[in-house]
């Protein structure tokens, strides 16, 4: 065996420590989904009721899907496609892995564009540009900037290059090292921003909005939005947990890692909510602004806040760090796939992937401006990628993963992964509950919500 490994021309990378795994997983989960998407979805869907449904989905569907992906990844020690093929040789399950890779390609294309906006806004904050200018200026700035041709492309290029530069160093020396430093920084900044916001004179209305549910606002759209957001925010159905899981040591406890990741992600979403909503209410702005919320509303608030200039810098720095620790995970799914399925060197795989994604990202960016008339199914490229990934591919990916673990995979292999071949004690009732969630509840719920979405 040892000899065989020596003859292999590449030895698989691994994470260095379980803290490293946790920050890498949390780094992937915590991203624009928490700081940009979650606050505006909460605002559009009426606040606390949405949050409670979201949390229920994270626990009942998110954790079982994440654990299933973990089981597939760590068992197979292989990329998203290779994992299915190794565990079910001679079957068509590899297609599930290909779908996951396609999903990451679509997400990263527009993610890098929004990350680029983060770069521009951080630079503006550093020039103290938000301390002047009213909210209508800020809104027209956002629209003009995102629709223009060159500047967003330059920012998108910088963001993609930064992501590629981290991933080229590999899992342990690139992704893990970066996340270990940046996640604590991100946490401290976000706590600081939340404290600042919660101590504003009129913070009460924002807190009520976040924590007192108004069930009359709940519609079927709220339920769909909550499920889509749970999957997007936890990076599920995209092969991320399969890929990172394949680099996790056989001694790590994947059960507690899954629970901790889900907890950290939810905590970050709530902290982001606490940093944003009280300020929105204190300044009498409508929370239902939509996707422009953090790019239009927040700069307006910063311009009126004591020390607003410094707060703006911290906020957009946080946004950029959160986006980077997620974009590197999206890139890694595709890169690991290319390395193993096409036998490429990491450097070649990173260069190739980053280039193709850079081109796709350019299309996304331009589709908000000069290419705006080019519609596919009535959507711009940007909106199409966003819609197809979060509302279709991630859900199908999650469904296939639970079906695979629930109905196809060998029971003993699953039990071995959960208990680390018997060295961890996993109670019977827990296995029973998990089996029920993975076999019946999660597939039925995901399918029902998807079908409902398509017929309505
Ligand atoms: N979870 C990330 C976010 O919230 C997005 C993401 C999705 C990252 C899928 C990796 C895979 O921003």
Tens of pLDDT, residues 44-59: 888 999 999 999 999 9
Kindly tell me if the per-residue pLDDT of 137 is higher than 90.
no
Question: Which pLDDT value is given to residue 136?
Answer: 63
With the most atoms of ligand 1 within 8 angstroms of its CB, the residue from 27, 33, 320, 325 to mutate is 33
| Cross-strand partners of 376 | 379
Long-range contacts formed by 202-206: CB under 8 A, 24+ apart: 202/278, 202/281, 202/282, 203/278, 203/281, 203/282, 204/278, 205/278, 205/281, 205/282, 206/274, 206/277, 206/278, 206/279, 206/280, 206/281, 206/282
Cα torsion 217, 218, 219, 225 to 10°: value is 120
Q: Is 33 in the pocket of ligand 1 (CB under 6 A)?
A: yes
Q: Which atom of ligand 1 is nearest to the CA of 30?
A: 4
pLDDT of residue 87: 98
pLDDT digits (tens, 9 = 90+) for 313-336: 999 999 999 999 999 999 999 999
Q: Is 303 in the pocket of ligand 1 (CB under 6 A)?
A: no
Percent of the chain at pLDDT > 90 equals 75
Question: 370 CA distance to ligand 1 centroid (A)?
Answer: 28
* Residue 232 Cβ < 6 Å to ligand 1: yes
Is a pLDDT exceeding 90 seen at residue 265? yes
Ligand 1 contacts CB of residue 331 (under 6 A): no
Q: How far apart are CA 361 and CA 70, in angstroms?
A: 29
Tell me if residue 22 falls in helix, strand or coil. Answer: helix
pLDDT for 298 beyond 90: no
> Tokens 């020396």 — which residue?
173
Task: Determine if ligand 1 sits within 6 Å of the CB of residue 244.
Answer: no
Backbone angles phi, psi at 379, to 5 degrees: -120, 155
Average pLDDT of the chain is 92
Q: Tell which atom from ligand 1 comes closest to the C-alpha of 326.
A: 8
Cα 412 to ligand 1 centroid, rounded to whole Å: 31
Task: Tell me how far CA of residue 98 lies from CA of 171, 268, 274, 285, 409, in angstroms.
Answer: 21, 30, 38, 43, 19
Cα–Cα nearest to 53, from 235, 213, 243: 213
| Percent of the chain residues past pLDDT 70, beyond the cut | 96
Residue with tokens 């819609």: 387
Query: How many whole angstroms from 18 Cα to the centroid of ligand 1?
Result: 21
Dig out the tokens for 425 from the structure: 């004690």
Residue 455 has a pLDDT of 77
Q: How far is the CA of 31 from the centre of ligand 1 (A)?
A: 6
Alpha-carbon distance values, 243 to 22, 100, 272 (Å): 14, 10, 27
CB 224 within 8 A of CB 451: no
**What is the DSSP secondary structure assignment for residue 213, as one 8-state letter?**
-
Cα 371 to middle of ligand 1, angstroms: 26
* pLDDT single digits (tens) 388-435: 998 899 999 999 999 999 999 999 999 999 999 999 999 999 999 999
Report residue 4's pLDDT band, with 50, 70 and 90 as the boundaries.
Answer: very low
Structure tokens at 4: 């065989």
For residue 25, report the distance from its CA to the centre of ligand 1, in Å.
10
Pocket test residue of 24, 329, 334, 389 for ligand 1, highest count of atoms within 8 A of CB = 329
d(CA 358, CA 450): 30
- The more confident residue out of 51 and 203 is 51
Sign of CA dihedral 266, 270, 276, 277: positive
Residue 235 in contact with ligand 1 by CB distance below 6 A:
yes
Give yes or no for residue 272 CB within 6 A of ligand 1: no
Longest dimension (CA), the chain: 69
Is there an atom of ligand 1 within 6 Å of 261 CB?
A: no
Atom of ligand 1 at shortest distance to CA of 330?
10
Phi then psi dihedrals of residue 423, to 5 deg: -85, -15
Say if residue 2's pLDDT is above 50: no
> Using only C-alpha atoms, what is the Rg of the chain?
21
Instruction: Using DSSP, state whether 55 is helix, strand or coil.
Output: helix
Closest alpha carbon to 84 in 409, 370, 453: 409
Range with the poorest average pLDDT among 127-136, 214-223, 254-263: 127-136
Q: Is the CB of 329 under 6 A from ligand 1?
A: yes
Nearest to 325 by CA among 191, 194, 235, 263: 235
For residues 310, 312, 313, 315, the Cα torsion angle rounded to the nearest 10 degrees is: 120
The CA 110 to ligand 1 mean position distance, Å, reads 12
pLDDT tens for 31-47 read 999 998 898 889 888 89
> With a 6 A CB cut-off, is 67 part of the ligand 1 pocket?
no
Q: What angle (nearest 5°) sits at the alpha carbon of residue 187, between those of residues 295 and 296?
A: 5
Residue 301: which pLDDT band, with cuts at 50, 70 and 90? confident
Residue 240 beta carbon below 6 angstroms from any ligand 1 atom: yes
* DSSP assigned state of 376: B
* CA distances for 252 relative to 71, 245, 326, angstroms: 12, 10, 22
Ligand 1 pocket, residue 28 CB under 6 Å: yes
Mutate-to-test residue for ligand 1 from 24, 25, 26, 29, highest number of ligand atoms within 8 A of CB: 29
Give the DSSP letter of residue 12. P
Expressed in angstroms and rounded, the spacing between residue 29 Cα and the centre of ligand 1 is: 5
How many whole angstroms from 113 Cα to the centroid of ligand 1? 14
Q: What are the tokens at 368? A: 């908000």
The DSSP letter of residue 285 is: -
Question: What's 377-442 look like in SS3?
Answer: CCECHHHHHHHHHHHHHHHHHHHHHHHHHHHHCCHHHHHHHHHCCCCCCCCHHHHHHHHHHHHHHH
Distance 265 CA to ligand 1 centre (A): 10
Q: Is 370 helix (H, G, I), strand (E, B) or coil?
A: coil
Residue 343 has pLDDT above 50, yes or no: yes
Q: How far is the CA of 141 from the centre of ligand 1 (A)?
A: 27
Give the separation between CA 286 and CA 274, rounded to whole angstroms.
16
Q: 326 CB less than 6 Å from ligand 1?
A: yes
């Amino acid at each position: 065996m040892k000899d065989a490994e020596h003859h292999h021309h590449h030895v698989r990378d691994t994470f260095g420590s379980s803290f490293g795994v946790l920050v890498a997983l949390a780094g992937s989960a915590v991203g624009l989904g928490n700081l940009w998407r979650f606050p505006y979805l909460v605002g559009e869907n009426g606040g606390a009721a949405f949050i409670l449904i979201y949390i229920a989905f994270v626990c009942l569907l998110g954790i079982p899907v994440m654990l299933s992906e973990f089981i597939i990844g760590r068992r197979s020690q292989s990329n998203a496609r290779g994992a299915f093929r190794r565990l079910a040789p001679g079957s068509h399950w590899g297609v599930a892995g290909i779908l996951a890779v396609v999903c990451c390609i679509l997400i990263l294309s527009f993610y890098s564009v929004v990350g680029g906006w983060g770069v521009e806004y951080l630079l503006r904050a550093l020039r103290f540009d938000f301390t002047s200018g009213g909210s209508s200026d800020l809104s027209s700035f956002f629209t003009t900037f995102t629709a223009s041709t060159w500047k967003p492309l330059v920012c998108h290029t910088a963001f993609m290059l930064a992501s590629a530069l981290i991933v080229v160093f590999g899992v342990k020396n690139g992704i893990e090292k970066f996340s270990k430093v940046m996640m604590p920084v991100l946490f401290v900044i976000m706590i600081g921003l939340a404290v600042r916001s919660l101590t504003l004179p009129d913070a009460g209305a924002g807190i009520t909005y976040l924590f007192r549910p108004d069930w009359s606002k709940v519609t079927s759209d709220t339920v769909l939005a909550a499920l889509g957001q749970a999957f997007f925010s936890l990076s599920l159905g995209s092969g991320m947990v399969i890929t990172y899981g394949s680099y996790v040591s056989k001694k790590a406890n994947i059960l507690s890692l899954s629970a901790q990741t889900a907890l950290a992600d939810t905590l970050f979403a709530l902290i982001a909510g606490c940093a944003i909503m009280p300020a929105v209410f204190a300044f009498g702005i409508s929370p239902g602004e939509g996707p422009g919320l953090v790019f239009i509303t927040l700069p307006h608030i910063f311009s009126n806040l004591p020390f607003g200039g410094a707060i703006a810098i911290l906020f957009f720095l946080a946004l950029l760090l959160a986006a980077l620790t997620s974009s590197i995970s999206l890139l890694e799914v595709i890169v690991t796939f290319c390395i193993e399925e096409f036998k490429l060197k990491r450097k070649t795989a990173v260069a190739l992937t980053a280039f193709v994604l850079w081109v796709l990202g350019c299309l996304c960016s331009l589709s908000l401006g000069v290419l705006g008339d080019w519609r596919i199914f009535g959507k711009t490229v940007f909106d199409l990628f966003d819609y197809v990934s979060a509302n279709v591919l991630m859900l199908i990916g999650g469904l296939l993963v639970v079906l695979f673990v629930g109905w196809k995979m060998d029971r003993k292999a699953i039990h071995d992964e959960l208990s680390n071949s018997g060295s961890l004690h996993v109670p019977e009732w827990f296995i029973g509950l998990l089996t029920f969630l993975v076999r019946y509840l999660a597939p039925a719920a995901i399918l029902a919500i998807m079908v409902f979405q398509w017929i309505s």
